[in-house]
Structure 1
Amino acid sequence: MTKFMDVHHGMVGITDQQFHQAHAADLAIQGDEGVTFEHAWADPEAGIVYCLSEAPDADAVQRVHQRAGHPADEIHRVPLSL
């Protein structure tokens, strides 16, 4: 399994409740695609949300986000970490 960092733009003003609901939607279906979302961050002022996951590939990550109603704008493979 590989780690991925995905980015969602256009989330200006996202509230804590909306952020939690979106993440919960991902968690509810992540197993269908073999994805494990590990952490998420949001910057409501910049309108950016970041999600760290472990998945078989970037397409699996995108399928989860699409089904949950918030497709990622970018998905980056993270092969190295400290």
Structure 2
Amino acid sequence: MAIYMDVHRGMKGITADELKAAHQADLAIESEEGVHFEHAWADPDSGDIFCLSDAPSAEAVQRIHERTGHAADEIHPVPLSI
């Protein structure tokens, strides 16, 4: 398993409730791909969303996001953390 940070763009004006609902949708099916979404952050002004996950691959992360209707624009591995 590896850590990934993904970025979603174009969600300007997202509310806390909308972010929570999107995150909950991911959590509801994450185990089907062996993914665990740790946390999500949003900047309603820019429309950028950031998600941190533990997953077998970036492709697994993307499959979950696609199935829940919010595909990531970028997915970055995080090979080093402290």
TM-score range, shorter chain: over 0.9
- Deviation of 1:81 after TM superposition, in Å, equals 0.4
Listed as ranges, the gaps of 5+ residues in structure 2 are none
Runs of 4+ in 1 over 3 A off after TM superposition: none
Q: How large is the RMSD of aligned CA atoms in angstroms?
A: 0.4
**Pairwise mapping of residues 40-55 of structure 1 onto structure 2 (< 5 A)?**
40-55=40-55
SS in 2 for 1:24: helix
1:68 aligns with 68
- Deviation of 1:8 after TM superposition, in Å, equals 0.1
Work out the CA distance in 1 between the residues paired with 2:72 and 2:19: 14
The amino acid across from 1:40 in the alignment is A
* Length, aligned pairs only: 82
Normalised TM-score (structure 2): 0.99
Provide the identity percentage: 63
The amino acid across from 1:44 in the alignment is P
Normalised TM-score (structure 1): 0.99
1:36 aligns with 36
- Deviation of 1:70 after TM superposition, in Å, equals 0.1
1:24 aligns with 24
Work out the CA distance in 2 between the residues paired with 1:38 and 1:20: 13
- Deviation of 1:43 after TM superposition, in Å, equals 0.4
Listed as ranges, the gaps of 5+ residues in structure 1 are none
